[in-house]
Amino acid sequence: MKKIINKPENYVKEMLEGLYIAHPDLITYTADDLHCLVTANKREGKVGLATGGGSGHLPLFLGYVGKGMLDGCSVGDVFQSPSAEQMLAVTKAIDSGAGVLYIYGNYNGDIFNFDMAAEMADFEENIQVLSVVAGDDVASAGPSAPGEKSTRRGVAGIFFVFKCAGAAADKMLPLEEVKRIAEKAAANVRTMGVALTPCTVPRVGKPGFSIGEDEMEIGMGIHGEAGIRHGKIEPADQITDEMLDKIITDLPYTAGNEVDVLVNGLGATPLDEQYIVTRRISMYLAEKNIKVHRFYVGEYATAIEMAGISISVLKLDAELKALMEAPACTPFFRQ
């Protein structure tokens, strides 16, 4: 395990201490608990937006707390959900009477805890809480039947949901409206990833799985969940096309659509490669007559030090487009 860390059991605590030191203008914490991160710039009367999840995905989740995006984030141990109590503490801190919307990824532990936190907020604190669960990874399961709960994992595409909902809340829209927008963004985003190397949870000390020296795993999840196929590494253009084929046909995205695209590095993959993929996406979508409104390129949701890339596509309408264009200022995302 090649990591610049101290004791593995202090990994998350020390990372959080560093974060608060570096971004005092944007974030702070509540309930005397470093894991209960909240904005340093609370706006009265605004719907509070909270997320949460395991560590190991920086800048996800906490990096999107700030102006124009989220108001709070409860932070778990690496790849582990934070507790309902921590979520409740964040909820209490960010509510200013307009209610709170939870937006988080589709993982069992997170769902159970956010549900419990929502009940506690209602029963114990009389705070109205609604929830939107994002599941954008087309590789993780087939599309769900109408009315059925999605079984897809939430991955990098949640960034778009944060951005749209954050801008909506910033416009002082009411809770139900912000939820509608978050759901609309979530319903219109699809993601797929490819991994080249595994990642190591610091407390475990060795990779949780392995990928052959000249192999890749298409569709692998951000905790190393199995993908849809593994095989020899192929040229970037070919990998990109395979991922886009899956993404495009799933929603589907069709000629005449306008989209935002997120090209996301999973941790160890240089920006150069992300731009090589960006180039191909642009060619591919142009051929399908799908117009790219804007590319976002960089590390937005990682899997510790996994090498790999994911592509997320958000289908825009006038409403989502305007929300995507709104300004935002968080530790990791500025626009």
Ligand X SMILES: Nc1ncnc2c1ncn2[C@@H]1O[C@H](COP(=O)(O)OP(=O)(O)O)[C@@H](O)[C@H]1O
Residues that bind its own copies (CB under 8 A): 2-7, 11-12, 14-19, 21-22, 55-56, 58-59, 194, 196-197, 213-214, 233, 235-237, 239, 267-279, 282, 295, 297-299, 302, 304-305, 307-309, 332, 334-335
- Residue 83 contact among another protein, its own copies, ligand X, none, beta carbon within 5 to 8 Å by kind: another protein
CB of 270 to its own copies, least distance (A): 5
CB of 100 to another protein, least distance (A): 19
Candidates 117, 193, 201; CA nearest to 152 is: 193
Q: Does 30 bind another protein (CB under 8 A)?
A: no
C-alpha dist (Å) from residue 290 to 33, 143, 150:
46, 22, 26
**Pair of tokens at residue 67:** 């102006």
Catalytically annotated residue among 23, 35, 57, 293: 57
Place of tokens 């969940």: 225
57 as an active site residue: the answer is yes
223 as an active site residue: the answer is yes
Map residue 315 onto helix, strand or coil.
strand
Instruction: Decide: residue 6, CB within 10 A, 0-12 exposed, 13-18 middle, 19+ buried.
Output: exposed
Angle between helices 158-170 and 318-325 (to 10 degrees): 80
Catalytically annotated residue among 23, 223, 230, 293: 223
Residues 99-118 that bind ligand X (CB under 6 A): 108-109
- Residue 82 contact among its own copies, another protein, ligand X, none, beta carbon within 5 to 8 Å by kind: another protein
- Residue 165 contact among ligand X, another protein, its own copies, none, beta carbon within 5 to 8 Å by kind: none
CB of 230 to its own copies, least distance (A): 13
- Residue 26: how many other CB atoms lie within 10 Å: 19
Q: Does 209 bind another protein (CB under 8 A)?
A: no
Answer whether 166's CB lies under 8 Å from 50's CB: no
- Residue 305 contact among ligand X, another protein, its own copies, none, beta carbon within 5 to 8 Å by kind: its own copies
* 41, 115, 295, 321: residue in contact with another protein (rule CB under 8 A): 115
Answer whether 264's CB lies under 8 Å from 156's CB: yes
Length of the chain: 335
φ, ψ for residue 199, nearest 5 deg:
-135, 160
Place of tokens 């609370």: 42
Which residue, 108 or 126, has its beta carbon nearer to ligand X? 108
Applying CB under 6 A, the residues found at the interface with ligand X are: 108-109
Query: Which residue numbers are catalytic?
Result: 57, 223
